[in-house]
Amino acid sequence: MPKVLYEKRDRIAYVTLNRPEAKNAIDPETDALLWQTWQDFRDDDAVDVAIVTGAGDAFCAGADLKTFIPPRIAALTARAVRDNVATGLGGLTRGLHRIYKPVIAAVNGWALAGGFETALACDIRIASERAMFGSFEVRRGFHHGDGGIARLVNTCGSGVALEMLLTGEPIDAQRALQCNLVSRVVPHDQLMPQAERMAQQILRNSQIAVRSAKETILDVIGRPLDDQLRIDALNGWSSPDPEETEALLGRFYDKTDAGRAGTHQTEL
């Protein structure tokens, strides 16, 4: 079986890490397959949203400590470190992080180390009640280097980041929800249905607007307020396709659209 399963159905790309015997740890082959997968997702006009999850009882235990990490440590020349800046773990963490199609993480179990970084690199995280999140790298002599620190601080704040990364202790799904690390926690057997429902909610919208919104969010993180407001205005008012927007407004005028204020339900 491939170490990464990749399926496409109804405009959704399903990406499943498939090394359950190793808690879906990312070895060099899996890393290469993930790069190929995310490049295909980026370039395929037939898919607009991705859902990533893990086979078995783990989301991802991070980079494989036997086959991935030792060669990297042994080759830590200044040139190798500099080149690695453009090539994060699995591509999504760094290198392919500017894909503007939304990516949903369906976190089914342990998201640890580089697996935690992979979950953080996704746009929306939905957690099974069994999910656990952690960073044990400090126990092994190093720390996150594929976006984990930056994204954890941006998402949860420095206090949560300091606690998790300095103690090396994990948090469960409910604590993750309290920390704003995940959007919601669901019963384990509802994880994929809920992720698919969220994907469908995204798909019913203008994909031009969705991708521009994601781009804008990535662009404003960490900038001064005046810069944020400028980017917000530039991207927001330059994003519409006039023909599409006129058609969608027509539905509003005819009262045939979903998501109106008042008593109207927003059904899929």
pLDDT digits (tens, 9 = 90+) for 82-120: 887 778 889 999 999 999 999 999 999 999 999 999 999
Q: 25 burial class (0-12, 13-18, 19+ CB within 10 angstroms)?
A: buried
Q: In what order do the strands lie in the sheet with 132-134?
A: 58-60, 110-112, 132-134, 171-172
Q: 154 burial class (0-12, 13-18, 19+ CB within 10 angstroms)?
A: middle
Between 207-220 and 225-238, two packed helices, what is the crossing angle to 10 degrees?
170
pLDDT of residue 56: 95
Segment 235-240 shows an average pLDDT of 90
pLDDT of residue 171: 95
Residue 186: in which H helix or E strand, if any? strand 184-186
> What pTM was computed for the model?
0.90
User: Taking a C-beta distance cutoff of 8 angstroms, is the pair 102, 124 a contact?
Assistant: yes
- In the chain, DSSP finds a helix count (H) and a strand count (E) of 11, 10
pLDDT of residue 73: 72
Structure tokens at 128: 């099974």
Distance set, CA 211 to CA 39, 92, 234, 240 (Å): 16, 16, 14, 11
- Is a pLDDT exceeding 90 seen at residue 159? yes
Which residues have a Cβ under 8 Å from the Cβ of 129 and sit 6 or more positions away? 173, 185, 186, 187, 188
Q: Is 117 a catalytic residue?
A: yes
Q: How confident is the model at residue 265 (pLDDT cuts 50, 70, 90)?
A: low
According to DSSP, the residues that pair with 5 across neighbouring strands are: 16
Catalytic pick from 21, 137, 163, 244?
137
Segment 109-133 shows an average pLDDT of 96
Structure tokens at 199: 């994907």
Q: In what order do the strands lie in the sheet with 12-17?
A: 4-9, 12-17, 49-54, 103-107, 124-128, 184-186
pLDDT of residue 110: 96
Q: Is 217 left (phi over 0), alpha (psi -120 to 50) or beta?
A: alpha
When the pLDDT of each residue in the chain is averaged and rounded to a whole number, the result is 90
Residue 111: in which H helix or E strand, if any? strand 110-112
pLDDT of residue 260: 60
Segment 228-256 shows an average pLDDT of 85
pLDDT of residue 83: 80
Q: What does the pLDDT look like over 178-226, one tens digit per residue?
A: 999 999 999 999 999 999 999 999 999 999 999 999 999 999 999 999 9
Catalytic pick from 7, 21, 29, 117?
117
Q: How confident is the model at residue 261 (pLDDT cuts 50, 70, 90)?
A: low
Structure tokens at 254: 């005819």
Q: 138 burial class (0-12, 13-18, 19+ CB within 10 angstroms)?
A: middle
Q: Is 244 a catalytic residue?
A: no
pLDDT of residue 143: 82
Q: Half-sphere exposure of residue 64, counting CA atoms within 13 Å on the CB side? A: 20
Closest alpha carbon to 143 in 121, 165, 119 = 165
% residues pLDDT > 70 (the chain)? 96
pLDDT of residue 259: 65
Distance from C-alpha of 88 to C-alpha of 95, rounded to nearest angstrom: 6
